[in-house]
Amino acid sequence: MGKIKIALDADIGYDSLPIPDKIVIPIEDGKIGVLSYKQHRTDPLTAEQIVIGYAGKDRLKINVRVTGRISVSDFPDLRLGGFKVEIIGGLTEQNLKLRLIDPQIPRWNLPNVPALLDNLIKQLLNKFLLKKLAEVLALDLKAPVQKAVSQINRPNVFAMAIGKNNLTYEFKPNVELFEPTLTISAEGLNLKFEATLAPAMTLIQPRMIRTALRSRRRRKTA
């Protein structure tokens, strides 16, 4: 049998992405203007209630709720009481790894925050929140894709009657996937794979039948 070109689609809903319920935003000690800041020892800056959706034109929208405190020099602890932040960014795929690219916070809503602290919050979130989200959304799809391909390519042993003879055959799909094309839509992520199918069917000699059947049973119980 020759090779056959086929297309395979993998759909990933936004709610099925392996995103944690909350992430601690690591704040490195630093200084902005006259203000020195550092991570709060017992109430670190945290992003929670993370919701990912479609922002249009192959862009993602990530909504988070930011809580926690920042220790600021010469000021009481700066408490972030759960204000909402929206991040817009693109997504790229390379070698079956998804990566968030060019994330930005297009709008701010920081009510009743003095201008000096307002600027501090914006710079810290732009620097540390966006970096952490990019790390969290760096998803490696290689293992689940390889597992799916292995299941598809699992040999199938079957019997076929030809005349008075009952013959046993082994069938292998031999599917090979190539680099997919990523599409972002309102429904979620779609990976379209180009693939080749090179099916092969082999007559199993009587001596080989028991070995093939035992191998098949082991795979079922694994």
Q: What is the DSSP string of 147-177?
A: HHHHHHT--EEEEEEETTEEEEEEEE--EEE
Query: In whole angstroms, how far apart are CA 54 and each of 14, 125, 191?
Result: 9, 22, 16
State the residue range of the domain holding 35. Answer: 18-136
Residue 113, H or E segment: none
Tell me, yes or no, whether 173 and 63 share the same domain.
no
Per-chain mean pLDDT for the chain = 86
Q: Please write the tens of the pLDDT for every residue from 123-156.
A: 999 999 999 999 988 989 888 888 888 888 998 8
Query: Domain boundary at 111, 136, 161, which?
Result: 136
Tell me, yes or no, whether 198 and 156 share the same domain.
yes
Query: Domain boundary at 136, 170, 187, which?
Result: 136
Tell me, yes or no, whether 82 and 145 share the same domain.
no
Domains contained in the chain, number: 2
Tell me, yes or no, whether 31 and 88 share the same domain.
yes
Tokens describing residue 160: 């076929």
pLDDT at 111 over 80: no
Query: Domain boundary at 136, 156, 189, which?
Result: 136
Q: Please write the tens of the pLDDT for every residue from 80-105.
A: 888 889 999 999 998 889 999 999 99
